[in-house]
A and B are shown apart, each in its own frame.
Chain A
Amino acid sequence: MYNTGNMVKELAEKHGRKRESLMPILQDIVRKHNYLTDDAMVAIASELDISAAEVYGTASFYTFLDTEERGKNIIRVCKTITCSMKGKNDILSTLEDILKIKVGETTPDKMFTLLETNCIGWCHKAPAILINDMPYTDLTPETVIDVVKGYMR
């Protein structure tokens, strides 16, 4: 959980209070806090003068706008065909081993969430993952460990 505080008001000042301001506001909160709390969505609803159901309905449509608690670093392993052909399962099981969680889970220290995702556009450099915004490609079980260790500090 995080404290919504003045954040929503500040974001509304930045992006406006129209309906089309909703996505940029949701995206900014997720970038900062990794997921949307009920409090944040209710605050947005009141700031934009729309119902909270509209905010939740919109947010829950989009895979990257999580409404469940997520870790500080969100790892998304591409599971679409080329990555799947080129060793995605090995990458995923390596990540599960070193993070000691299953796909869909968050580490107890809230540092990592491990998810699968659909094609992220790196088929020529498969297998690929996204950690937050950054893509990592041409991975092997060895290199993915190094990549994740870089986020452990």
Chain B
Amino acid sequence: MKNKGLTKVDLIFDSIDIMKVMKKAFEMTSDEIIEQILASGLKGRGGAGFPTGLKWKYTAAEKDPEKYIVCNADEGEPGTFKDREILDRVASKVYAGMAIAGKAMGASKGFIYLRGEYRFLLPQLFIELHKFHKLINEIGYDFSIEYRMGSGAYICGEESALFESIEGFRGEPRNKPPYPTVSGLFSKPTSINNVETLVTAVMIIEKGPQEYVKLGTKDSRGSKVFSISGDTPIPGIFELELGMTVQEFVNEFGDGDTKAVQVGGASGFCVPRKKFGETIIGFEGVPTGGSMKLFNSSRSMYNVLHNYLDFFAEESCGQCTPCRVGCQQLLKGIEKVKKGDSKSTYLNELVKLADTMKVASKCGLGQSVGNAFKSIVENFREEIIY
């Protein structure tokens, strides 16, 4: 497959006339906005990659007069820090994205769920929000936004756990269906979108979907903000066109000794050096919410995996057994193999457990523990054992 190479883009952080783009959107009908987002092929930028236009369309189709637009700013995936940067630099574009989404689906109320670790941003975000509310008043459109804070729970980035948290409960994910578009926050139809998704939607309205689809590939349209860390001389935030291979990424960001790249954080996939050339970063290859961690040959992949499993064992909400017990057993399991208390073939049993967690866990947390576990164990088996 031909890929796109590595191209830097400047859409998300580009300063635009918020008033102008909101007026443009408010002159359109709800269907027209949704059509444009659908035509752009935009998929959610939080990691899961659900088509944004469809989410808005399903929420718009609900008859309930009370609906919500929720911005998920509970960025907690290890290695992800782009949403903080976006809120810090272009909060007004996030607010505008929520207003446009609200117009598309018929919601006049928005909530932003910000992780507690980012509370220091609030004073500035409130100043921006005040300006935004004044602006939207001037346009004469009925829409307002409120902040709700997280308190240090990774699981609250899961959409239904996030609703539970806003409603004042333990952040335990709900059974699905019903999906949020039918019954979300306060059991009302809700569209919940990632910070970057909302800003991207604003840029699609501003530039038109025809411009946007020129970027990226058939399965992964557009560009994406990447959070780059680990063994790289240039860690930080970079907006790149989708469709590059891991090899092209490593050529730009590696330190010359990269042995593995963890794409998508602790819940993502580990790509070893031998697969850099064939692996595309995007929905046709390995998807990512933005987290890209590079590891060079001085790093023990056992330590990496142990760190991730320790993370999941702590952050599992404990509600469903496969995840609660599974995370603990995977962690104990690799420790036993490392110490020599269990044979190396025990790893095969642990892989089966990870597969079971994928099928049987209630939410994305338990379902995706196996991604990192299997891709590290399969590609770096000797490092786990010896």
Contacts and interface: CB of A to CB of B under 8 A. Distances in A.
Contact of B153 (A63, A84, A134): A63
Nearest to A26: B151
B79 A81 contact: yes
Given A19-B167, A23-B151, A119 B293 contact: no
Interface in B128-177: 148-154, 165-172
A124 interface: yes
Contacts of A62: 150-153, 171
A123 B168 contact: no
Nearest to A116: B314
A21 B152 contact: no
A135 B84 CA distance: 12
A126 B230 CA distance: 9
Nearest to A63: B152
Contacts of A46: none
Given A19-B167, A81-B293, A124 B117 contact: no
Nearest to B161: A61
Contacts of B23: none
Contacts of A123: 78-79, 81, 227, 229-230, 235, 293
A118 interface: yes
Tell me whether chain B's interface is mostly helix, strand or loop, or mixed: mixed
Contacts of B311: 80, 118-119
B16 interface: no
A121 B80 contact: yes
B116 A64 contact: yes
A21 B167 CA distance: 8
Nearest to A121: B81
A82 B77 contact: no
B13 interface: no
Contact of B228 (A57, A80, A124, A134): A124
Interface residues of B, number: 49
B386 interface: no
B196 interface: no
Interface string A19-61: 1111110110010000000000000000000000000011001
A119 B77 CA distance: 7
A81 B308 contact: yes
Contacts of B227: 123-124
Contact of A124 (B171, B235, B314): B235
Q: How large is the interface on A (under 10, 10 to 19, 20 to 34, 35 or more residues)?
A: 35 or more
Given A82-B293, A119-B311, A135-B120, A20 B171 contact: no
B3 interface: no
Contacts of A14: none
A133 interface: yes
A124 B237 contact: yes
A1 B181 CA distance: 45
Contact of A85 (B119, B151, B236, B299): B299
A58 B229 contact: no
Nearest to A80: B78
A117 interface: yes
A20 B116 CA distance: 17
A120 interface: yes
Nearest to B170: A61
A49 B22 CA distance: 43
B307 A80 contact: yes
B293 A23 contact: no
B299 A23 contact: no
Nearest to A65: B151
A125 interface: yes
Contacts of A133: 119-120
Contacts of B80: 119, 121
B78 A81 contact: yes
B166 A23 contact: yes
Q: Lowest 8 CB-CB distances: which A-B pairs, in order?
A: A63-B152, A123-B229, A124-B235, A64-B152, A62-B151, A22-B168, A61-B170, A64-B151
Given A23-B148, A123-B79, 11 more contacts: A18-B168, A19-B169, A21-B168, A27-B151, A61-B172, A62-B152, A64-B152, A81-B78, A82-B293, A119-B311, A121-B118
11 contacts: A19-B169, A58-B170, A61-B171, A80-B311, A81-B266, A81-B307, A82-B78, A118-B76, A118-B78, A120-B117, A124-B229
